[in-house]
Structure 1
Amino acid sequence: MDIGRIAGSGCITHIWMTMAPFDHVTEPALHRKVVLRMFWDGEDNPSVQAPIGDFFGIGHGITKNFWSAPLAMSPEDGQAMNSFFAMPFGSSARIQLESNADRPIKFYFYVDYELYDTAIDSPLRFHALWRRELTQGIEDNISNALFEFGGKNTTGAGNYVMLDAVGKGHYVGCNLNIHNLRATREWNWYGEGDDMIFIDGEAWPPSLHGTGMEDYFNTAWCPQQEYHSPYHGITLGGGPNWSGKISAYRFHIQDPIMFDTSIKVTIEHGHNNHRSDDYSSTAYWYQTEPHKDHPLILPVRQRLPLPDILPFNEDDMKQCFDY
Structure 2
Amino acid sequence: MSNEVSGMFKDLTSIHHARNGRLASWDQRGKNQDYWEIPPNESITLGEIEGPGCINHIWMTSSCRRVVAPSLIDPVLGASAAPVMEIAPPLGVIWDAYDPFYYRKALIKITWDDEDTPSVLAPLGDFFCIGNSYPGNFSSLPFNVSLKPEEAGKYGAPCSVSCYFPMPFNKKAKIEIINENELPFILYFNIDYEMYKDPLPEDTAYFHSSWHRENPCNGWGNDVQVNAPEVNNVTNFTGDNNYTVLDVKGTGHYVGCNLTVRHYQGSWWGEGNDMFFIDGEKRPSLNGTGTEDYFNHAWGMQRNAYPFYGTIVHEADTDGFQVSYRFHITDPVRFEKSLRVTIEHGHANQLSDDWSSTAYWYQTLPTSEPLTIAPVEDRIPEVPELPKRDLKLPELTDDMKAARESYEQRWKEYEPKREEQFLIKEDKARRESKLNTEFAHKLRKEFDEN
**TM-score, normalization: structure 1?**
0.89
**C-alpha distance 140-31 of structure 1, shift in aligned 2 (>3 A):** closer
Q: How does 1:1-323 map to 2 (within 5 A)?
A: 1-21=44-64, 25-76=97-148, 77=151, 79-121=159-201, 122-134=203-215, 135-142=217-224, 144=226, 145-146=228-229, 149-182=232-265, 184=266, 188-204=267-283, 206-223=284-301, 225-239=302-316, 244-308=320-384
Q: Could you say which structure has the higher strand fraction?
A: 1
Q: Is the 8 Å Cα contact of residues 150 and 271 (structure 1) preserved in structure 2?
A: no
Residues 38-96 of structure 1 deviation map (CA, whole Å, 9 limit, x = unaligned): 00002111100100110011210122211100001123357111000000001000001
Q: Which runs of 5+ in 2 are unaligned?
A: 1-43, 68-95, 152-157, 387-450
**C-alpha distance 6-213 of structure 1, shift in aligned 2 (>3 A):** same
Which is further off, 59-68 or 14-23? 14-23
Residues 200-249 of structure 1 deviation map (CA, whole Å, 9 limit, x = unaligned): 11221x211011111110000122x3111000001122139x97111100
Matched AA of 1:232: Y
Which is further off, 133-142 or 89-98? 133-142
Matched AA of 1:217: F
Q: Could you say which structure has the higher helix fraction?
A: 2
**What is the root-mean-square deviation in Å for CA atoms of aligned residues?**
2.0
Matched AA of 1:203: K
Q: Which runs of 5+ in 1 are unaligned?
A: 311-323
Determine the C-alpha separation between the residues in 2 that align with 1:162 and 1:64: 21
Determine the C-alpha separation between the residues in 2 that align with 1:175 and 1:11: 23
Q: Is the 8 Å Cα contact of residues 244 and 308 (structure 1) preserved in structure 2?
A: no
Matched AA of 2:218: Q
Q: Is the 8 Å Cα contact of residues 140 and 147 (structure 1) preserved in structure 2?
A: no
Helix, strand or coil at the partner of 1:60: helix
Helix, strand or coil at the partner of 2:133: coil
Residues 100-154 of structure 1 deviation map (CA, whole Å, 9 limit, x = unaligned): 2332111111010000011013521000000000201014444551465341112
Shift of 1:287: 0.3
Helix, strand or coil at the partner of 2:188: strand
Determine the C-alpha separation between the residues in 1 that align with 2:189 and 2:115: 23
Determine the C-alpha separation between the residues in 1 that align with 2:230 and 2:163: 39
Helix, strand or coil at the partner of 1:269: coil
**TM-score, normalization: structure 2?**
0.64
